[in-house]
Amino acid sequence: MVICVTGKIATGKSTVSQFFAQRGFEYINVDKLGHIAFEMNKENIKQTFGTCDRKEIAKIVFADPQKLKLLESIVHPTMMRLLKDELETRKGKDIVIEAAIKRRLGIDCCDITITVVCDKKVIKERLKERYDEDLVEEILERQSDIEPEGIVIENNSSLEELQSQLEKIYQQIKAKG
C-alpha cells in the first residue's frame, strides 16, 4: 500500500508521515528528493538564476511565479526519476510518501492520499521563528494549488488530537486490509 501525505507548509505533513513510518511503512520524503535533485542540477540552476545558493533561489522563485515554474522545469523531472527509483527499491512494501506538491509533480502511485490542513494563522505561528511574514505569504501564495484531496485531516490543535485522528484512520486502513 502506498499512502501519500500532502498539504501546505507547516500543516503537519511530517508528523503524519512519521506516524505511519513508526507503524512499519517505508518513508519517502519528496522534499529530500528535491534537495538531491537541486544538487544534481546545480550547474544548470546557476546558469539560469546566477546563483545556486538555495536561500537566494528561494527568495527569487517565491517572489516570481514564472521563475518558480522555471526552477520546477529543471528539478521536477529529476525528482520524479528519483521517486520512481525509491519506489522500485521498496516494491511490495507499505510506503508513505510525504509530498507537499503531489499534484503539481503528477505523483499518481498513491492508493490513499491524506491531506493535512490547518488555518493560515496557525501556519504563520508555526513558521514565525523560521521565516519573515512576507516570505510566508509568498510561499502560501505559490502553494495555492495544493487543494485538499482524499482523507482530509485538520491539524489546528494539539499533537494528541492529531495522533487520535491518525489512530482512527490507521485502524480503518488496516481493517480494509
Nearest CA-CA partner of 108 in 142, 80, 66:
80
Q: Which of 119, 38, 42, 116 is closest to 72 using CA atoms?
A: 38
Q: Any binding-site annotation on 12?
A: yes
Q: Give the three cell numbers for residue 31.
A: 522534499
Residues 23, 170 contacting (CB under 8 angstroms): yes
Q: Is 14 annotated as a binding residue?
A: yes
- 157 annotated among ligand-binding-site residues: no
Q: What 3-state DSSP class applies to 123?
A: helix
15 is in an annotated binding site: yes
> Would you state the cell numbers that stand for residue 100, as one nine-digit string?
507537499
Whole-Å CA distances, 163 to 19, 20, 171: 8, 11, 12
51 is in an annotated binding site: no
CA distance 58 to 56: 5
β-pair partners for 114:
5, 151
Residue 89 assigned ligand-binding role: no
Annotated binding-site residue numbers: 10-15
Annotated binding-site residue numbers for ATP: 10-15
